[in-house]
Amino acid sequence: KTPVIISTDPGVDDIVAILLALASPELEILAFITSFGNTDAESSRRNIFKTYQAVSRHLEQFPEDASRFPNFGAQVILARGSAGPLEGEVHSAQYFHGRDGLGEITERHPELDVQDQLPQLILSDSTGSQVAAELIRTRAPRTITYIALGPLTDLAQLMAEHGDLVRDRIGRIVCMGGALDVPGNTSPVAEFNFFADPYAVKNVLIENPKTLVPLDRFILLPLDITTPHEFPFPYYKDKIDPSFETSTQPSDGATKSPLVHFTSSFLEQARVVMLAFGKDAMELHDIVAMWCAIENPPGVDTLAVGWKARNRVFDIERTGELTRGMLVVDRREDASAYAPGVNRAAVQAELEQQNFAHATFESTAV
């Protein structure tokens, strides 16, 4: 089993990714670090409670489904992550995920809210980076995968505070974010997670790699890779919830399993938003990242069948008038960009000296 720390800002696709983690025997979930991002940090945290409660109620009603959630019984640390970016103002994606991160589920379905503590969640008073550092320190070296499904703020803090520990002992970092050769989803040029904290991206992917981050153990999944993976809502209606509606009206949960009532409640809202964008499907951004972590455990150099790695060189825009969070990709790396006879190694050395756009990392295509 791969032990994982999940940094997340749930968020519709984050929750589906977390349900995938709960259902995946390949993983052992050690901790959730919940941060700002799609919504505020407190709502992110509550959404983990709601998810655990929905699974718990489902299993009370259908105990025979316990084997479908092999990671549900174990205790998991729930730690508070950052409430905003390293610098500048907070941006959220509530236009898509709703004010509470799950399509106003709190108002539409108060019965899904959780007031009490849940036995599976160990609430930690330490910060997300302290919790992660402690786990990385105490677990066997190079075994843990850190999965970042939201802004990179907490990972940047972890690296700033415990850089050596991360370098020596992390197994893998899997991160959903950025847009390399495709348009952004938050602005014409920026993907949301990188837009939300471009300063953290700068530290994690551009500054630290020179000294700290083990790039050979870092897998980035930008929109280029995640957006093409879609889950059609009609398929969900067909296979999971025949009474799934495209409606802003609260649906009646009485006839559904508690878990399907929960997922349908936020997916119905997500569908309304996606239809406005002309798509009757959900984009599986964070789910693809979780899937990547499942299929590519630390210590295995060769990526699993079906996954390909590419190295790219880029930098990130932090303060641009129109380009905050944009990845500035150095396409001069393309062979076609060089006249015959140009010494590419010399050009690369020159770029490094200028400190320009130098983050070589693995990008993974499915």
Task: Classify residue 252 as exposed, middle or buried by CB count within 10 Å of its CB (0-12, 13-18, 19+).
Answer: exposed
Least Å distance between CB 209 and ligand BDR?
22
Given candidates 261, 285, 312, 318, which one binds ligand BDR under the rule CB under 6 A? Answer: 285
Q: Closest CB to ligand BDR among 14 and 241?
A: 14
- Per-residue CA distances from 156 to 68, 183, 187, 188, 238 (Å): 34, 25, 23, 25, 42
Nearest to 21 by CA among 263, 289, 273: 289
Which region among 54-62, 190-198, 242-250, 300-308 touches ligand BDR (by CB under 6 A)? 190-198
Residues 261 and 112 sit within 8 Å (Cβ to Cβ): yes
Half-sphere exposure of 245 (CA within 13 A, CB side): 11
Percentages (nearest 5) of helix, strand, coil residues in the chain: 45, 15, 40
H/E segment holding residue 270: helix 258-276
Asked whether position 185 contacts ligand BDR by CB under 6 A, the answer is yes
Q: Closest CB to ligand BDR among 191 and 241?
A: 191
Q: Closest CB to ligand BDR among 112 and 179?
A: 179
- DSSP secondary structure string, 180-218? SSS--SSSSSB-HHHHH-HHHHIIIIIIGGGTS--GGGE
Q: Closest CB to ligand BDR among 24 and 185?
A: 185
Q: Is the dihedral of CA 303, 308, 311, 316 positive or negative?
A: negative
Q: Which does 51 bind (CB under 5 to 8 A by kind): ligand BDR, Ca ion, none?
A: none
H/E segment holding residue 349: helix 344-354
Which region among 11-19, 322-330, 331-339, 346-354 touches ligand BDR (by CB under 6 A)? 11-19
For residue 272, the one-letter residue type is: V
Least Å distance between CB 14 and ligand BDR?
5
Given candidates 149, 174, 221, 290, which one binds ligand BDR under the rule CB under 6 A? Answer: 149
Which token pair is 156? 């940047």
* Residues between 215 and 234 with contacts to ligand BDR, criterion CB under 6 A: none
The Cα–Cα gap between 46 and 32 comes to 12
Q: Which residue is nearest to ligand BDR (CB)?
A: 192
Least Å distance between CB 283 and ligand BDR?
7
Instruction: Tell me how many degrees the CA angle 101-24-83 measures, rounded to the nearest 5.
Output: 30
Given candidates 14, 104, 224, 333, which one binds ligand BDR under the rule CB under 6 A? Answer: 14
Given candidates 29, 78, 93, 259, which one binds ligand BDR under the rule CB under 6 A? Answer: 93
DSSP state of 74: S
Which residues of this chain interact with Ca ion, rule CB under 5 A? 9, 11, 14, 149-150, 286
**How many other C-beta atoms are found inside a 10 Å radius of the C-beta of residue 199?**
18
Q: Is the dihedral of CA 195, 199, 205, 206 positive or negative?
A: positive
Given candidates 40, 191, 207, 268, which one binds ligand BDR under the rule CB under 6 A? Answer: 191
Q: Which does 191 bind (CB under 5 to 8 A by kind): Ca ion, ligand BDR, none?
A: ligand BDR
Given candidates 2, 24, 34, 38, which one binds ligand BDR under the rule CB under 6 A? Answer: 38
Which region among 191-199, 214-222, 232-240, 270-278 touches ligand BDR (by CB under 6 A)? 191-199
Least Å distance between CB 38 and ligand BDR?
5
Q: Closest CB to ligand BDR among 93 and 259?
A: 93
Q: Closest CB to Ca ion among 14 and 104?
A: 14
Nearest to 165 by CA among 115, 223, 228, 208: 208
Least Å distance between CB 144 and Ca ion?
20
Least Å distance between CB 76 and ligand BDR?
20
Q: Which residues bind ligand BDR (CB under 6 A)?
A: 11, 13-14, 38, 93, 149-150, 176, 185, 191-193, 285-286
